[in-house]
Amino acid sequence: MKVVLENLTKTFPNRKKGLPDVTAVDNFSFEIPDGQLIGLLGPSGCGKSTTLNLICGLIQPTSGKLWFGDDDVTYLPPEVRGVGMVFQNYALYPHLTVEKNIMFPLGNLKGAEKLSKQEMKDRALEAAKLVQIENLMERKPSELSGGQQQRVAIARALVKLPRVLLLDEPLSNLDARLRLQTREEIRRIQQETKITTIFVTHDQEEAMSISDMIVVMAAGIIQQIGKPQDVYDNPVNLFVSKFLGTPPINVFEGTVKNETLYINNEKVLHVGGVEDKDVWVGIRPEGFVLKDDGALSCDLVTVEVMGRDISVVSTHPATVNASIRSIISSENHDTITGTKVRFDVKPSKVHLFDKETEERIYYK
């Protein structure tokens, strides 16, 4: 089911008296193609949950429209939209077994849709198999691990065969290893069922790893939409460049003069077509090349061994980060000696941003 947001806006009265309204979702327009998994990504408070709640119908927009395929669902009540929703805190019924928890939404079906007890049991088993908890059907939620509880919640969201599946930070309560495993599970389930899915997270790695497309948000405003790799390689502004990537992008103060980029008077790169001005310079950790006479001269702090790669930690007077991290092939480990390291940079990994607007400045 294709989902279309058309100038969707939601404002709330400010929780603090006397302050202006909060625009939690500001004029969102985008289309989620049928059968895709979309990652809604942004820091806490940027409007991710509000967007999901608008899509599932728990809240109504201040203005704009929402479409599921050709159906205008903007003001449709949640129960007739055909959405399944999973929250961060699994929200299971503690006194019901796993099977009864999963079956619960089916009990509300009426008229022609009404199911017999056996049909409900069959459907619950099918959903349980999808998330691989069919052997836990008789347990109560308190007898399950966090990961298992979240699978029950996912099975419950799937049991009505929703047109759209919405997941609001579903992995945040799980420990690191389970988080990794469960996100792979979600991807597998999504690909098996082909249900259009919207996955909300503040964790860029999580969103990048499983999404067909990511929507990066900040303060209620869409910053960029695209395939994870494209957004990483081509951020439209400083915020997006900083939000994606671990270790994060290294940001320096720089100056462009005669189409040449200087960082602290060091001549770093030819930047064709850029007028003379001060800029923010973002350099990805993998954008540095160790070189004895490299353009950028940094003070070495430490070298962290990561196996295949090493992470060189250094400082530089023009960086706004506490330190610079460069990821270098471990074959080069031996060449690092003394207290200085010098780097050249890979042009495709260096992004310039306007000092005031923080918008990307493109160069040739």
One of 49, 149, 223, 326 touching Mg ion (CB under 5 A): 49
CB 103 within 8 A of CB 124: yes
From the list 40-48, 74-82, 235-243, 344-352, the region that binds ligand ADP by CB under 6 A is: 40-48
CB 102 within 8 A of CB 128: yes
Q: Which is nearer to ligand ADP, 48 or 242 (CB)?
A: 48
From the list 21-29, 48-56, 179-187, 349-357, the region that binds Mg ion by CB under 5 A is: 48-56
Q: Nearest distance from residue 43's CB to ligand ADP, in Å?
A: 7
One of 4, 8, 46, 54 touching ligand ADP (CB under 6 A): 46
Q: Nearest distance from residue 72's CB to ligand ADP, in Å?
A: 23
- Sole residue written with tokens 């919207």: 198
Q: Which is nearer to Mg ion, 49 or 150 (CB)?
A: 49
Q: Using CB distances below 5 to 8 A depending on partner kind, what does residue 82 bind out of ligand ADP, Mg ion, none?
A: none
Q: Which is nearer to ligand ADP, 53 or 197 (CB)?
A: 53
Q: Using CB distances below 5 to 8 A depending on partner kind, what does residue 24 bind out of Mg ion, ligand ADP, none?
A: ligand ADP
Q: Using CB distances below 5 to 8 A depending on partner kind, what does residue 50 bind out of ligand ADP, Mg ion, none?
A: ligand ADP
Exposed (0-12), middle (13-18) or buried (19+): which is 294, by Cβ within 10 Å? middle
Residue of 21, 5, 142 whose CA lies nearest to 66: 5
The whole-angstrom separation of Cα 217 and Cα 7 is 15
Is it true that the peptide bond before 162 is cis, omega within 30 degrees of 0?
A: no
Helix (H, G, I), strand (E, B) or coil at 272: coil
Exposed (0-12), middle (13-18) or buried (19+): which is 344, by Cβ within 10 Å? middle
From the list 47-55, 256-264, 288-296, 311-319, the region that binds ligand ADP by CB under 6 A is: 47-55
Q: Identify the H or E element spanning 188.
A: helix 176-193
Residue of 123, 130, 94, 92 whose CA lies nearest to 109: 123
Q: Nearest distance from residue 203's CB to Mg ion, in Å?
A: 12
Q: Using CB distances below 5 to 8 A depending on partner kind, what does residue 123 bind out of ligand ADP, Mg ion, none?
A: none
Interface mask (CB under 6 A) for ligand ADP, residues 1-30, using x and -?
Answer: -----------x--x------x-x------
Q: Using CB distances below 5 to 8 A depending on partner kind, what does residue 226 bind out of ligand ADP, Mg ion, none?
A: none
Helix (H, G, I), strand (E, B) or coil at 119: helix
Residue of 210, 197, 141 whose CA lies nearest to 167: 197
C-alpha angle 228-316-272 in degrees, rounded to nearest 5: 60
Residue of 104, 109, 133 whose CA lies nearest to 121: 104
Tell me the CA distances in angstroms from 244 to 211, 261, 310, one per residue in order: 14, 24, 20
- Helices vs. strands in the chain: H and E counts, helices first: 8, 21
Helix (H, G, I), strand (E, B) or coil at 120: helix
One of 3, 8, 39, 50 touching ligand ADP (CB under 6 A): 50
Q: Using CB distances below 5 to 8 A depending on partner kind, what does residue 45 bind out of Mg ion, ligand ADP, none?
A: ligand ADP
β-pair partners for 282: 251, 351
From the list 47-55, 124-132, 156-164, 233-241, the region that binds Mg ion by CB under 5 A is: 47-55
User: Interface with ligand ADP includes 58 (CB under 6 A)?
Assistant: no
Interface mask (CB under 6 A) for ligand ADP, residues 176-215, using x and -?
Answer: ----------------------------------------
- The bridge status of strand 37-41 relative to strand 213-218 is parallel
Q: Nearest distance from residue 307's CB to Mg ion, in Å?
A: 35
β-pair partners for 264: none
From the list 45-53, 83-91, 120-128, 137-145, the region that binds ligand ADP by CB under 6 A is: 45-53
User: 179 is written with which tokens?
Assistant: 């988080």
Q: Using CB distances below 5 to 8 A depending on partner kind, what does residue 1 bind out of Mg ion, ligand ADP, none?
A: none
Contacting residues toward ligand ADP, per CB under 6 A: 12, 15, 22, 24, 42, 44-50
Contacting residues toward Mg ion, per CB under 5 A: 49
